[in-house]
Structure 1
């Protein structure tokens, strides 16, 4: 399903997830590049997730949560 076909609520949820990740990253004083390195994902992946333009995989979110020392459930809530 192309992004333009996603319901508004889903796009809002993605943006909120990206905001929570960005807030925790900045609170830990990490650049996107440093977070990506620690999480084992690409910097582009971190950028897309933070912008809310990506439909991230569970494994990517789990890696990011671990790199942020944050429970995954906290990022998803």
Structure 2
């Protein structure tokens, strides 16, 4: 779905408290989460503008977001 938010709280509601805690107390998690949020916002804005970039570029951005999401998930699981 175009323009859908993929925030960590939307993606992993079961880790709600842990996400907030790590965002406050773990600098690496916070920095990675900010990069993920920035990437998600950029993708969402591009989608809502009918993707004024090449499909391959959009695919790469979505891939980068997925890599960050995987890293964040691994950090959440390690700290659960």
TM-score with structure 2 length normalisation?
A: 0.38
TM-score with structure 1 length normalisation?
A: 0.39
Bigger helix share = 2
